[in-house]
Amino acid sequence: MKTRLLLASLATATAMSFALPALAADSAQDFVDKAAAGGMFEVDSSKVAETKAQDQSVKDFAHKMIDHHGAANAKLETIAGEQKLTVPKELDAKHKGDVDTLQNGKDPIDTPYVQMQRDAHSDAVKLFESYAKDGDNAQLKTFAQETVPTLKMHQEMIEKIASKIGDKSAATTSTTPAVATTDTANPSAPVPGANSFTEDQAKDRIQDAGFSDVSKLAKDDQGIWRGQANKGGKTTAVALDYQGNVVAGTN
């Protein structure tokens, strides 16, 4: 009887020892599936944005995403291979739909791309933080722990860009032209033209529009004064055109 009980116990223990890795692989596979899908989306969507976006800061961010997530994707694929896990080769339906929206959308695509990046990085930070804390695969857990700081850095970057784009759409404009013009509404972007403002006058005009700490003013080849200024505790690019329009968030 004792022998039978001992053999039964050993059989149960053996079964458990083989069952545990299977459970761990299922959980690890779920992480790989989600992390890989998110990483591929970052690269594919950013390749579109690097070509079609108009704001230079959006283009620069997209370029970083291609580099950073491309490297992370390669590292994840290597670890997954070592752990006998499968890495998806194609985007899931949702992410593919988002990339198609950017690819087929009319220019500019800056705003939808930025919002997609905000959502994607929010999801990625949650996924990686959760697995870094409770992950059941040591190598993937380390990968998640090492990747979280970069994802949070990306998140901070895209939030700043989103704020900049928001500031641009709500930019302050002046109603008094520097040069006689037709009776048209002032635009939301600086208008090229011969600018009669001196540097001191340009600085005064920008300060009158509610900005402070105006610096690095220089007139470009389109007659637009460009520099940096502070408003609401944030430093932003600012421009003044020949009509006297003051526009924030321009390059």
| pLDDT 10s digits, 115-173 | 999 999 999 999 999 999 999 999 999 999 999 999 999 999 999 999 887 655 444 33
- 183 phi, psi to nearest 5 deg: -80, 70
Residues 107 and 178 in one domain: no
The answer to whether 68 and 150 are in contact (CB under 8 A) is: yes
Least confident of 58-67, 75-84, 168-177, 211-220: 168-177
pLDDT 10s digits, 173-209:
333 344 333 333 344 567 777 666 788 888 888 888 8
Q: What is the mean pLDDT of residues 61-81?
A: 95
Does one domain contain both 113 and 65? yes
Q: Are residues 242 and 137 in the same domain?
A: no
Mean pLDDT score of the chain: 80
CA distance 100 to 165: 23
Locate tokens 């920008």: which residue?
A: 206
pLDDT at 241: 82
- Domain limits at 188? 171-251
**Count of domains forming the chain:** 2
CA distances from 132 to 32, 138, 149, 196 (A): 13, 9, 11, 59
Q: Is the same domain home to 117 and 44?
A: yes
Asked which of 169, 200, 215 is the last residue of a domain, the reply is 169
Higher per-residue pLDDT: 103 or 10? 103
The residue with greater pLDDT, 96 or 2, is 96
Res 199: pLDDT: 86
**Which of 119, 148, 169 is the last residue in one of the domains?**
169
How many Cα atoms sit within 13 Å of 98 on the Cβ side?
24
Q: Final residue of a domain: which of 169, 195, 221?
A: 169
The answer to whether residues 115 and 18 belong to one domain is yes
> Within this chain, do residues 157 and 211 fall inside the same structural domain, yes or no?
no
What 3-state DSSP class applies to 234? strand
Which residues in 22-49 are b (16+ Cβ under 10 Å) and which e?
A: eebbeebbebbbbbbbbbbbbbbbbbbb
Inter-CA distances, 249 with 6, 8, 107, 168, 234, Å: 75, 73, 19, 5, 11
Q: What angle do CA 62, 68, 73 make, to 5 degrees?
A: 115
Is residue 143 located within the same domain as residue 190?
Answer: no
